[in-house]
Amino acid sequence: MSKALFIVDVQNDFTEGGALGVAGGDAVAAAITRHLAASADQYALIVASRDWHDAGGDNGGHFAAGEPDFVDTWPVHCVAGTEGAEYDPGLVTDAVTHHLKKGQGAPAYSLFEGTTDDGDTVGELLTRHGILEADIAGIATDYCVRASALDAIDHGLRVRVLADLVAGVAPATSEAALAELAHAGAELAESGV
């Protein structure tokens, strides 16, 4: 097997009721859990990322000092060790082989910017496991899913975005992100769950 599943930022602060919750986030968590139950054995590597920001400071300008612009600056979210940074309770992570934390003191959107607790990067994991393909699911379609998929393409992977396993901030920007990813070479697919 040479395929990975990337689960991007399915966290309490990005699902309904969170600091930056998106509509459909809880449903995506549950659908990814169903996908894992049905298909985990198809993947050599299952990587889940979490935003994991420092409690002190602005995290390299990522946290807004005043009004956030929702482009480069954001309300405080996914602070390390808080409930908001934890996985959504609808996401069962038993099949996840590697957990990544990203944004520790700096802005970070792509799963490729994260590391495991042992310090491994996604690039190192891909090489070690001989990964050639990646399916991508998670939150938010128009930000971290987009950035992760573009980085996966840049790493030479054959990428499938599981369009029924993503949720975005807004319909228009999510549609634009999916169109951009398709243009960049990603396949837009359905998980079948």
Q: Which of 26, 102, 135, 151 is catalytic?
A: 102
Tokens in use for 101? 């934390």
DSSP H or E stretch at residue 46: strand 45-51
The residues that bridge with 162 in the sheet, in sequence order, are: 189
Q: Which of 51, 78, 135, 144 is catalytic?
A: 144
Other CB atoms within a 10 A radius of the CB of residue 155 amount to: 15
Are residues 114 and 101 in contact, defined by beta-carbon separation less than 8 angstroms?
A: yes
Is residue 26 annotated as a catalytic residue, yes or no?
no
Q: Both ends of the chain: CA-CA distance in Å?
A: 21
Q: Which of 3, 9, 51, 151 is catalytic?
A: 9
Is residue 102 annotated as a catalytic residue, yes or no?
yes
Is residue 69 annotated as a catalytic residue, yes or no?
no
Rg value, the chain, Cα: 15
Are residues 184 and 153 in contact, defined by beta-carbon separation less than 8 angstroms?
A: yes
Secondary structure (3-state) at 159: strand
Are residues 174 and 145 in contact, defined by beta-carbon separation less than 8 angstroms?
A: no
Please give the positions annotated as active site.
9, 102, 144
